[in-house]
Amino acid sequence: MSQREVRSIGTAGWGRTLTAAIISLIYFFPVLFIILTAFKSRQDALAWPVKFIFTPTVTNFVSVFYRTTVEGGEAEATGFGLYFFNSLFIGGSSVLLALIIGTSAAYAFSRFPLKGNETYLFMILTTRMMPPIVAIIPIFVLFRIFGLSGTYVGIIALYTAFNLPFSVWMVKSFFDDLDRDIEDAARMDGSSEWKVFRKICLPQVYAGLAATFVFAIILTWNEFVFALLLTGTQTRTVPVQIVRTIGGSMGVDWGLMSALETLFIIPVVLVTFALQNQLLRGVTFGTIRR
Amino acid sequence: MPAPRSARGFLGWLLAPERRGPLLIAPAIATLVIVNIFPLLWSYGLSFFSYNAKKIGVPPRWRGLDNYVDLFTDEDVWGRFQNTAVIVIGSVAVQLVVGFLLALLFAREFPLRRYLLMLVLAPMMLSLSAVGVFFKLFYEPTFGFIPRLVQTFTGEPFVILSTPVKATIAIVFADAWMWSPFVMLLVLAGLVSVPKYLYEAAEIDRASAWRRFRTITFPYIRSLLLLALLFRTIETFKIFDVPYVLTEGGPGTSTETISVYLFRVAFNYFQTGRASALGYIVLFGVIVLTSLYLYAIQSRSSESIE
Amino acid sequence: MKGLKFSIAAAAITAGAVLGGAFTAAPASAKDVIINMAAPDWQPTRFMQEEFNRTYKSKTGNNVKLVIDFIPWPSFYQRVAASLSSGEKKYQMIVTDSQWMGDFVEGGHYLKLNKYIDADPELQAVIADMHQVLKDTSSSYPYKSTNYYGFPQFPDNMVTFYRTDLFCNAKERAAFKAKYKKALPCYYHEWQDVDWNQWGNIGEFFTRKKGSALGDGKADDDFYGIAYQAGKGYDFSTSQIHTMIWDAGGDIWDETDTKPASGVINSAVNVKAMEQFLDLLKWSPPVAKTGQMDIFVIQDLYMQGKVAAIVDWVGVAGPVIDPKASKVADKSAFAQAPGTRKSDGTINRSSNIGGQPFVLTTWNNDEVIHEALDVVKWWLSKPVQTKFVREGGGQSGMLSVLNDPGYATWSPFARAFADNIQWQKDMWHIPEFFPLLTQQQEQFDKAITGQISAKQALDSVAAYQDKTLKEAGRIK
């Protein structure tokens, strides 16, 4: 398993660090701004010039989960607990399923190429490249026919298929990277194919599987179009509710919106850091490794 | 999974070594056929009918090729394709330039590089809808950051989303901000793949920097730039969340991309048959682009084998 | 309170029924009945949920729970349409915008209630107590028929929100008088003489640059005179444009639904009315230029003290007088919205009605229907409606409440609402309304952002309406 840093050509000194820091901070500014706004009171959030020094408050974060909706009323749960759970549960189960089915296919594509291997791989990738809105038109109607709208089963099945092409291509790329000599030696020694897979190949791609898992979770976590049309009141995910929260009746509450966004993106930003070495492969669905 | 050679009958036949590949792939193909391919075939059928998904009792009515004919002669459809094309061309061009420059900045190792890279790479991992919301807040004409910043210099209110051109630029800006790091990653991969000895040889030849770039570096990043171009073109072609959240396709319909339009036809106008037909036209475009992309991938890998 | 018919008998029956019901003994086996209700996310529905949780007890002894799914306005129709057509059968009740009636009745989703009304004197009393305008617009389909499907959960209309610290400021009043030879409206009765032209004068008068004098102080930021809805989402320009078309004496279609729209919606009168609508946007905050100035944007701008007066739904007025949400909570007042002055000097204030009926869905079993209708009776009973008006910042469509001598004083906007109600009309209730609305919103948005003229927009709307109505077989 090749765990490479994002590699470089030669070195540069602190001068480059300074330039890069300024540019990176400007680049990151929109995200930073949202995170800062999340900790501001309503008046601070709208203040101009922008306040970079202010008394931080966690009110907005509390309001994400509990807030009063009627003047003088009691704070009530907003349902975001459920939506965060849904995002994780739906994402987690569909990715796990996709990974199991996908790893088996990826191993086969890598080790036992079929006639027309490339065509199958192409077909699989196409289902992923297709605009979701194209896929959703028939799925929307079929879900109705089979009573799957607004159910966990329906949305998890859909996301499994959504994550499958990604899993196949990603995991295949990891299997392709392996040094074949060890396997071949094992086969010579009379190991069964199962044993070769289980004892030799699989352990070598654990890190890759983990990376694939996390990537797919992020893709699902971020997914909006399918969720917008196919989740019901009980299965709604976070992105749908975020977009639904703008245009609520309490005016545009920027602090609240920012707090929501912050909760939604912070896990992703942190995971991005952990995954830095696999990013290239991940964002190109495993089609480009180096 | 093991294939006991002694096993007899159907099971033995099924588990024979030559069926190993198909057997392992079958679950994946089955899933995709059930959840993706079958619905698509079904909507292919629907694309020849007039059908409203909202009217449960009313059966589809046969229209033959009329949906397609209507679409190809509809100015609105062409307008949406044009909107999409403008956004794709603008955004991908900006991504290539900015991504390339960022790659040059990060090509060398320097202190804290890994951490600064994280800041730059973060945007592309965010949700498209979240980015739409970000920029909706940034562009808001009275309280938004960008209009206020501009106003401190000009003294005039700055309204970004007021004209088709400016609204398009606003979307391109948001999309390019998000995806330039993607191009950077690919270009970085190309830059680091240049063998060191080539540079050393050039050093000895005292080649100029431009010449070194053109003859040594560029050939190594060329194929990756092409891949970046194709990949981003496919992805930007599908752009939905950002305009849906940021402009609702406005002003008027000037930033309504083909995906947003498809959404409207399917779920506002509920012309399910027509939407299916348009979906197929879009799908055809994506298939062509994806084949080009895979072709480029293959020629790159055969290049590097040479 | 002109034009309101009063029915003490109906009120007494309703109140009596509710009281009587409270004493009905509970049967031995209490069941859980959950009523899922789709509703727009705003104060009137939030209040209903709270009040229900606080006080509701089912007469049958069942354990009835009302679970409201709060959906933001801009995506309200799409969500409900998606849910209904997806067949998930999620909702037992729906707070529905009035113009959706035809769409979902024809779609087989909304339950016709005549059978239940005929069998239930309490429901008959409720119907009798409803204002005629609401029976027409919110309860029946086809429009103005006696096929009942719903009851007004929340009737709404558009009123003026204005800043008393500016409009009642002596200096400003004198300056306005000198410039326009008319009174700057401060009191309710003065607003009743304001037409759209004077609304424009107000816009011009109060649009001030940052740092210039405003009221007793200075404008700390650019300040704008007026705003009304002009947004692309949902019906966020249609409601105002229809209003101004009707005010000018025009019509939005042939209400008999048998003649083409061409010549009606794009008549010369309508083009002029829409041109006035577009012209007045120049005194609005810059967001007007984006075509995204919807009912919540203007509400927020008003609450943040960026604009002197707005015309908006009573439904969004609650937060405006809440000091936690609004900077202008203690200096806001409400009046009837402007209209167009006719040749005889009176003002035509016809307006597009808002507000929503709530309906039952067709897949409910008898038990749910029974409980849901009890919820309807509870909500429309005088005590609950009165409390809603007084505390929820809401309105009532029930005559027994509207005609109460104290009604006008129960909330700051109650009087404007009540005076407006007789002027209300509604847009098309036909099943094709959403395509009509979406296409119209697109064209209006183009006009608002200056890409096409009012005439071009209305011509395009007329052509599309004709095509749609023809395809639906409504006109030849």
Question: Could B142 and C301 be called an inter-chain contact, meaning their C-beta atoms sit closer than 8 Å?
Answer: yes
- Say whether A114 and B182 touch across the interface (CB within 8 A): no
Q: How confident is the model at residue A4 (pLDDT cuts 50, 70, 90)?
A: very low
Q: Testing the interface with B: which of A109, A127, A134, A145 to mutate, by most B Cβ within 10 A?
A: A134
CATH of the domain at C400: 3.40.190.10
Token pair listed for C202: 């107000």
Question: Looking at CA atoms only, how far is residue B268 from chain C in angstroms?
Answer: 6
| Distance between B238 CA and the closest CA of chain A, angstroms | 5
For residue C319, which of C44, C75, C48 has the smallest C-alpha distance? C44
Q: Taking an 8 Å Cβ-Cβ cutoff, which residues of chain A contact chain C? A: 46, 48, 69-74, 140, 143-145, 147, 149-151, 229-230, 232-233, 243-252
What residues contact B299, with CB distance under 8 A and at least 6 apart? B223
Across the interface, whether the CB atoms of A248 and C72 are under 8 A apart is answered yes
Asked if residue C458 belongs to a domain, the reply is no
The per-residue pLDDT for C29 is: 66
Q: Return d(Cα A30, Cα A257) in angstroms, integer.
A: 14
Residues of A in contact with C318 (CB under 8 A): 71
For residue B229, pLDDT over 50 is answered with yes
8 Å CB contact of B270 and C435: yes
What is the distance in angstroms between the Cα of B248 and the nearest Cα belonging to chain C? 7
DSSP state, residue C130: B
pLDDT number for residue C275: 97
For chain A, give every domain's residue range.
Answer: 14-77, 80-283
Nearest CA to CA, how far is C338 from chain A (Å)?
24
Q: How far is C-alpha B56 from the chain's CA centre?
A: 35
Nearest C-alpha in A relative to C68: A233
CA distance linking residue C318 with residue C102, whole number of Å:
30
Token pair belonging to C429:
């209730």
List strand residue ranges (DSSP E) for C13-110, in order: 32-40, 63-71, 93-95
Based on the fold, state whether residues C131 and C172 are members of the same structural domain: no
- Domain finish residue from C425, C440, C463: C425
* CB-based contact, B287 to chain A, within 8 Å: yes
Q: Please tell me what DSSP assigns to residue A114.
A: P
Instruction: Give B91→chain A minimum CA distance, Å.
Output: 16
| A71 contacts in chain C (CB < 8 Å) | 43, 318-319, 322, 324, 393
Give contacts of B253 with chain C, Cβ < 8 Å.
Answer: 442, 445-446
Chain A, chain C: beta-carbon pairs less than 8 Å apart: 85
Domain A80-283: assigned CATH number: 1.10.3720.10
Q: Nearest CB to B182: which of A28, A142, A283?
A: A283
SS (H, E, C) A126-175: HHHHCCHHHHHHHHHHHHHHCCCCCCHHHHHHHHHHHHHHHHHHHHHHHH
Whether chain A has a CB inside 8 Å of the CB on B177: the answer is yes
| pLDDT > 90? residue B168 | yes
Report yes or no on C442 lying in a domain: no
Please report which confidence band the pLDDT of residue B306 belongs to, taking 50, 70 and 90 as the band edges: very low
Same domain, C302 and C165: yes
Cα(C379)–Cα(C358) distance, integer angstroms = 11
HSE-CB of C380 using CA atoms within 13 angstroms: 33
Of all residues in chain C, the one with the smallest CA distance to B53 is C85
Q: What is the DSSP string of chain B?
A: ----TT--HHHHHHTSGGGHHHHHHHHHHHHHIIIIIHHHHHHHHHTTEE--TT-TTSPPEE-TTHHHHHHHH-HHHHHHHHHHHHHHHHHHHHHHHHHHHHHHHHSSB-TTHHHHHHHHHHHHHS-HHHHHHHHHHHH-TTT-HHHHHHHHHHSS---GGGSHHHHHHHHHHHHHHHHHHHHHHHHHHHHHTS-HHHHHHHHHHT--HHHHIIIIIHHHHHHHHHHHHHHHHHHHHT--HHHHHHTTT-STTTT--HHHHHHHHHHTS--HHHHHHHHHHHHHHHHHHHHHHHHHHHHHHHHHH-
User: Chain A within 8 Å of B25 (Cβ-Cβ)?
Assistant: yes
* A125: Cβ contacts below 8 Å, ≥ 6 apart: A165, A169, A285, A287, B290, B294
Indicate the pLDDT class of residue A71, thresholds 50, 70 and 90.
low
The residue ranking higher by pLDDT, B6 or A180, is A180
How many percent of chain B have pLDDT more than 70? 95
CA A265/CA C372 separation, integer angstroms: 41
pLDDT for A6-61, tens place per residue?
Answer: 667 778 888 899 999 999 999 999 999 999 999 998 778 888 788 888 889 898 89
Predicted pLDDT of residue A106: 95
C186 shares its domain with C239: yes
C306/B253 CB distance under 8 A:
no
What residues of chain C score a pLDDT lower than 70? Answer: 1-29, 392-394
Q: What is the count of structural domains for chain C?
A: 2
Considering only CB atoms, which chain A residues are within 8 Å of C36?
A: 233
CB-nearest to B133 from A101, A123, A242 is A242
Residue among B37, B105, B148 minimizing CB distance to A19: B105
Instruction: Using pLDDT thresholds of 50, 70 and 90, give the confidence band for residue A284.
Output: confident
Of B220, B207, B233, B215, residue with least CA distance to B290 = B233
Q: C139 and C52, same structural domain?
A: yes
At residue C370, φ and ψ (nearest 5 deg) are: -60, -50
Contacts of A74 in chain C (CB under 8 A): 50
Distance CA C417, CA C407 (A): 11
Instruction: Residue A195: list chain B partners with CB under 8 A.
Output: 2
Owning domain of residue C307:
158-352
Confidence band for B8, pLDDT divided at 50, 70 and 90: low
What chains are in contact with B, requiring at least 3 Cβ pairs below 8 Å? Answer: A, C
Residue from B6, B29, B32, B180 whose CB has the most chain A CBs within 10 Å, to mutate: B32
Instruction: Tell me whether residues B262 and A168 touch, CB distance under 8 A.
Output: no
Residue C144 and residue C171 in one domain: no
* Interchain contact, B164 vs C451, CB within 8 Å: yes
CB of B290 less than 8 A from some CB of A? yes
Last residue within a domain, chosen from C352, C383, C414: C352
Query: Looking at the DSSP assignment, which residues form a beta bridge with residue C335?
Result: C160
C433 occurs within a structural domain: no
Residue C205 CA to residue B256 CA, distance in Å, equals 37
Query: Where among C386, C408, C425 does a domain terminate?
Result: C425
Q: Comparing C-alpha atoms, which of C38, C33, C62, C63 is closest to residue C49?
A: C38
Closest partner residue to B118 among A123, A273, A280, by Cβ? A273
Q: Do residues C174 and C168 make contact, with C-beta atoms less than 8 angstroms apart?
A: no
- Residues of C with a Cβ under 8 Å from any B Cβ are 78, 81-82, 84-85, 87, 103, 106-108, 222, 232-233, 285-287, 289-292, 301, 304, 306, 434-435, 438, 442-443, 445-446, 448-452
Q: Lowest-confidence range among B83-92, B198-207, C40-49?
A: B198-207
Contact list in B for residue C445 (CB cut-off 8 A) is 250-253
C217: left (phi over 0), alpha (psi -120 to 50) or beta: beta
Tokens of A10: 């030669």
Contact residues, chain B, for C448 at CB < 8 Å: 251
Among A43, A71, A228, most C C-beta atoms within 10 A, so best to mutate, is A71
Q: Which residues of B touch C78 (CB under 8 A)?
A: 267-268
**pLDDT at A248 exceeding the cut of 90:** no
* Residue C59: per-residue pLDDT: 87
- Is the pLDDT confidence value at B76 over 60? yes
> Which of C88, C294, C296 has its CB closest to that of A251?
C296
pLDDT of residue C13: 43
Q: What is the pLDDT of residue C27?
A: 47
- Per residue in B37-60, pLDDT tens? 999 999 999 999 998 877 766 788
A100-147 tens-digit pLDDT: 999 999 999 999 888 888 889 998 998 888 888 888 888 988 887 888
The rounded distance, in Å, linking the Cα atoms of B264 and B275 is 9
DSSP C184: P
* Helix, coil or strand: residue C415: helix
Minimum CA–CA partner of C84 in chain A: A144
Reported ipTM: the value is: 0.88
Which of B194, B188, B193, B260 is CA-nearest to residue B225?
B188
Range of weakest confidence among A163-177, B101-115, B209-223, C25-39 = C25-39
How do the domains of chain B map onto residue ranges?
1-39, 62-305
Phi, psi of B52 (to 5 degrees): -115, 110
Residue A2 class from Cβ within 10 Å (0-12 exposed, 13-18 middle, 19+ buried)? Answer: exposed
Is position C461 within any domain?
A: no
Residues B69-75 have a mean pLDDT of 92
Tell me which of C222, C290, C361 to substitute to probe the interface with B (most B C-beta atoms closer than 10 Å): C290
Longest CA–CA span in chain C (Å) reads 76
Minimum distance, in Å, between the CA of residue B53 and any CA atom of chain C: 7
**B264: nearest CA partner in chain C:** C438
B251/C446 Cβ within 8 A: yes
Q: Is the dihedral of CA A235, C356, C41, C310 positive or negative?
A: positive
Cβ contacts below 8 Å, chain B against chain C, sum to 93
Query: Which architecture, in CATH terms, is B62-305?
Result: Orthogonal Bundle (1.10)
Interface test with C, best of A83, A235, A244, A249 (most C CBs within 10 A): A249
Q: Which of A48, A69, A245 minimises the CB distance to C72? A: A245
